[in-house]
Amino acid sequence: MALQDKYKELIDTANASGVTNLQVAETDGVLHIDGEAPSGAIKDKLWDLYGKIDPNFKAGDLIMNVDVAAAAAGTKATVTTESTDLNIRKGPGTDQPIVGKAGHLSTVTLISKTNDQWWLVKTDAGVEGYAYAQYITPKA
């Protein structure tokens, strides 16, 4: 089965959901999907669909780099770790790769709440990913 066939529903959903600059390419047995989602909810929807196609994200045959468009700005929040940096991850889970860090007491922008444990955030440096909600406090 070709990877574009395996992930057809994910690609079709990205197209139907208004993901812009959508690029789909297969290189060395890995499918790359890149683009900009119109909202955090759409990005979460794509990750949920990916999780249904490849439970626990174990196949290792897809790299999804879909960021939320800059127009979908949200609430500012403070990183409230004890003293260390907060890991920003590619997906909602500690098994996902770290794509960046947010410093202790720094400010991040909340894009969407994935669930009670994970929020999609963007740092002031422009790093976008998922952070553990326990260490993020929205500003009043």
Torsion of CA 13, 71, 35, 88, to 10 degrees: -100
The confidence score (pLDDT) of residue 139 equals 72
Q: What angle do CA 90, 34, 48 make, to 5 degrees?
A: 50
H/E stretch holding 6: helix 3-6
Helix, strand, or coil (residue 56)? helix
The confidence score (pLDDT) of residue 74 equals 73
**62 and 99 together in one domain:** no
Average pLDDT over residues 69-86: 77
| Domain of residue 59, residue span | 3-68
Average pLDDT over residues 119-139: 90
Q: What is the pLDDT confidence band of residue 71, given thresholds at 50, 70 and 90?
A: very low
Q: What is the pLDDT confidence band of residue 40, given thresholds at 50, 70 and 90?
A: confident
What's the domain count of the chain?
A: 2
**58 and 18 together in one domain:** yes
Task: Please give the mean pLDDT across all residues of the chain.
Answer: 88
CATH number at residue 53: 3.30.70
